[in-house]
Structure 1
Amino acid sequence: MAVYSLPKTFASAEKLDPIIERYKGFRLLSLKQSPESFGSSYEREIAFPDEIWIKRVCGPLSTNIIAVAGNSAESEGNKDQERAMLLKEEWLASLTLSGPFDKEAAVAMFKNNMWIESPSIIMDDEVEFYFGLYGMYVAPNARGAGLGVSLVEYAKEKALEIVGGKKTRLVLVVDFDNIGARRTYEKGQFVLNHDYWFDDTRCGRSQRTQSAVMRVDIGGSDNPGKDATS
């Protein structure tokens, strides 16, 4: 298994376009196979124009992390070889890292894009940057192999790389009763920040659902490269 972040640019569109198409296909498949895991739906996203898919892959505040079958040693960090792996190997899992945001932008992002009702509860004056994690999906044939934990650890490393090791908080939302997902995040040192109830309309639901808001602090001068969860 190898984990990569999708490239945002290549010298030519001909090299990037197949990556965007592969991402689109995997995202739509995940929505079809596990609609209960997402705040969106297959019917909504199948109608997206190309511009939205391009923005999702190439946007400056969006990093898509993909686990593929195969050996990461085959690419050795070479951009073209990573692209070849992403096009050749089966995609097994995905996760999106959104950010970085400063405190003011993070409050808006958590409320508008992650539907956190009380984003100010997550804020900390000592934290310089914030990221959101969302859209985790592991294909049915790859579950139980620890891919979720691998994606989370990669996301933490990527976030620190983006902000130069400064103190950073990663935040996510998961259904409170999704014990498997919560345990995956706990293995990545995420802790419960708070929980809330919301009107759940996913997959035609008409009920109240309890959500868990989880966070992990990483980086900073006192703890570079290590978790600083409290």
Structure 2
Amino acid sequence: MSNLTEWRIEPISSNDEGCCFYLDYYKPFRLAALEQDPDAFGSTYDREINFTDDEWLSRINNPLVKTFVAVRLHDRKVLSATSLIGPMPNPDPASNPFQASSEMRDASDHHHQNHAEASSVSFQITGVYTLPEARRQGLAKMLAEIAIGEAVAYAEQYGKRLELSLIVYTSNSGAMLFYESCGFVASVEGPRESFNPHKNASADEICMHYRKSPE
């Protein structure tokens, strides 16, 4: 991959074409990422390899989740991805945002009823992950900027203050530096210990909040 004309960033839609793409291209990307860098994720390869198609598609069909991917043009291989989740009824960022957004779908009607009264809207970005072969091409930064831009535009459309956050493991110093370069700052509350039932282990994580408007 030598130049920008060989890939492009796309949202994955929830229509029939998007669902087929999700299973045929995003699923292998996700499983490869979980297998190659298990410490970067809250979930595990052993857990998700056993997902049914309906379980995979529950994410793309969730109206609170919008997934963006960098796709190689000649073979449609997914090279990098992130998801924007929201608007969230609960402003506190979740260690497992996919699970939280699934649980919050049942509260979405109540959330929309109170939407006009709220002074802010809350979104969360999942970790941006790029396959090793596609790193240092600017894909992660572009994906983060697009996800940020979507959240900013939503808040501006409704005249609300934006609360945009993400969760990162404190052991992943490279990821923290990357998110800082995208305009996020670490919470003043500092790290917190979180138990991960999928790994049956605890790890220190920190919440980072978006503070810089896109240029």
| Counterpart position of 1:20 | 22
What is the identity, as a one-letter code, of the residue corresponding to 2:47? R
- Equivalent positions of 1:54-203 (< 5 A) are 54-70=57-73, 88-102=75-89, 105-107=90-92, 110=94, 113=97, 128-163=120-155, 164=157, 166-193=160-187, 194-198=189-193
Distance in 2, matches of 1:59 and 1:114, equals 9
Distance in 2, matches of 1:35 and 1:185, equals 19
Deviation at 1:148, TM superposition (A): 1.9
Distance in 2, matches of 1:114 and 1:174, equals 15
**CA gap 1:110/1:66 in 2 versus in 1, 3 angstroms:** same
Match of 2:27, SS?
helix
**CA gap 1:114/1:210 in 2 versus in 1, 3 angstroms:** farther
Cα distance per residue 1:156-195 (max 9 Å; x no partner) = 1122344426421211111223221111111111011132
Q: Please list every run of 5 or more consecutive structure 2 residues that lacks an aligned counterpart in the other structure.
A: 1-6, 100-117
What is the identity, as a one-letter code, of the residue corresponding to 1:59? N
Match of 1:17, SS?
helix
Identity level (%) = 28
Deviation at 1:128, TM superposition (A): 1.0
Deviation at 1:31, TM superposition (A): 0.7
Distance in 1, matches of 2:183 and 2:45, equals 31
Alpha carbons 2:69, 2:79 under 8 Å: kept:
yes
Match of 1:101, SS?
coil
Match of 2:70, SS?
strand
Distance in 2, matches of 1:134 and 1:182, equals 13
Deviation at 1:213, TM superposition (A): 0.9
| Counterpart position of 2:114 | none
What do you get for the CA RMSD once the two structures are aligned? Answer: 3.1
Moved more, 165-174 or 191-200: 191-200
Alpha carbons 1:2, 1:68 under 8 Å: kept:
yes
- TM-score of the aligned structures, taking structure 1 as reference length: 0.70
Distance in 2, matches of 1:89 and 1:151, equals 17
- Aligned residue among 50, 54, 64 for 1:51: 54
Deviation at 1:33, TM superposition (A): 1.2
- TM-score of the aligned structures, taking structure 2 as reference length: 0.74
Alpha carbons 1:97, 1:155 under 8 Å: kept:
yes
Alpha carbons 1:36, 1:202 under 8 Å: kept:
no
**CA gap 1:127/1:183 in 2 versus in 1, 3 angstroms:** farther
